[in-house]
Amino acid sequence: MKKIDSNIKRAKTLPGKFYSNKDFFEKSKEKIFAKSWQFIGDESLVKTENSAYPFSYLDSLIDEPLLLIKNQNNKEICLSNVCTHRGNILIENPCVINKDIICGYHGRRFDNCGKFKSMPETDGMENFPCKSDDLVEVPLKKWKQFLFSSLDPAINFDELFSFMESIVGWMPIENFIYDPVRSRDYLVKSNWALYCDNYLEGFHIPFIHKDLAKTLDYSQYNTVIDKYCNLQKGFGTGSDFCFELPKNSEDFGKEIAAYYFWLFPNIMFNFYPWGLSLNIIKPISEKLTKVEFRTYIWDESKIDLGAGSILDKVEREDEAIVERVQKGVSSRFYNHGRFSPKMEKGVHHFHQLISHFLNID
């Protein structure tokens, strides 16, 4: 893939074939997603000591069996969920570990830090046990109450989250309450990156989201770029829809209705006066994507106000346009587009990162 020109005034978008070509999709698995930080859930998944939560790293794309554990030191760790003897899956359902992790196939035992303890019928085995008999520990990080893992991290976690922390760290995010009723999943008939493209610009809002446009001052809409993250600030049309910002906020005195953060490659934190909509974009195939909306409430009295009050309607509108564009970029007559220097800085940034990671040897 050709490098995306760093000068947005000259740059061309990703080629249309990126969004429908299986080879690009397969390369993205290891070069982008295995090297990124992926959302697991919040710390309530393992509330008590010895709690264990089995999960897949990125289901439908990289189905790597992993295990989140709160060990005896009251610390969350992430381990491979595959027995080092013959590859059996160790734990299939959330549980509390009773002393040891025990493989149900041949009885191999591990402590809750993943260290091999014992196995029946090992007499005569040479050079046993050794380090490879322990469960592999997978990188795990936490921001506020949210947990993330990576198979082969190429991005410093603190560097990924520091910009967002500097803008919204004043909010009591660790106390936001998960709302399963307002959380839902969507299937979108488009490439994952095309869905992100659409998210990363407010250019389409007056054309696609008529009701949302009534709550946002489009003339002030702007995008701020960080290394692996960017922010779109949504300015409100009235103070009733906006944050009560503290004096130490860089936006104090401004009417901010929403902070839309995107973290490379597929995580979106959308902060509203009522709380957070956390969106995880999960590729299924080159033309099919799962979008998970996870809702965390801060102030329920504000949930029906402003930019964050019609999320399902906005999502449906986004899906409809993205699915149409998927058909268009698959055309034999479409190759590249160009970026609006004012309105598509976020998309340009995203395309640069994609081309960078795909070109890493």
pLDDT tens digits, 149-172: 999 999 999 999 999 999 999 999
- Contact residues for 93 (Cβ-Cβ < 8 A; gap 6+): 54
The pLDDT value given to residue 307: 77
Residues 132, 80 contacting (CB under 8 angstroms): no
Same domain, 191 and 132: no
* Spatial CB neighbours of 25, under 8 Å, sequence gap ≥ 6: 191, 283, 285, 286
Range of the domain at 235: 16-36+158-358
Give CA 337 to chain center in angstroms.
26
Report d(CA 129, CA 123) in Å as an integer.
11
- Number of structural domains (the chain) is 2
pTM, whole model, 2 decimals? 0.94
Q: Is residue 2 part of a domain?
A: no
Bridge partner residues of 268 (DSSP): 262, 279
Residues 255 and 244: their CA atoms lie apart, in Å, by 9
Q: What letter does residue 89 receive in the DSSP assignment?
A: B
Residue 346 within a domain: yes
Average pLDDT over all residues of the chain: 94
Residue 8 lies in a domain: no
> Are 205 and 257 part of one and the same domain?
yes
Cβ burial, residue 256 (10 Å; 0-12/13-18/19+): buried
Does position 361 have pLDDT exceeding 80, yes or no?
A: no
Domain co-membership, 277 together with 212: yes
Of 205 and 269, which is predicted with more confidence?
269
At position 277, the amino acid (one-letter code) is S
Q: Which residue has the tokens 């020109």?
A: 5
Whether the bond into 129 is cis, omega within 30 of 0: yes
212, 272 contact by CB (below 8 A): no
- Does residue 9 lie in a domain region? no
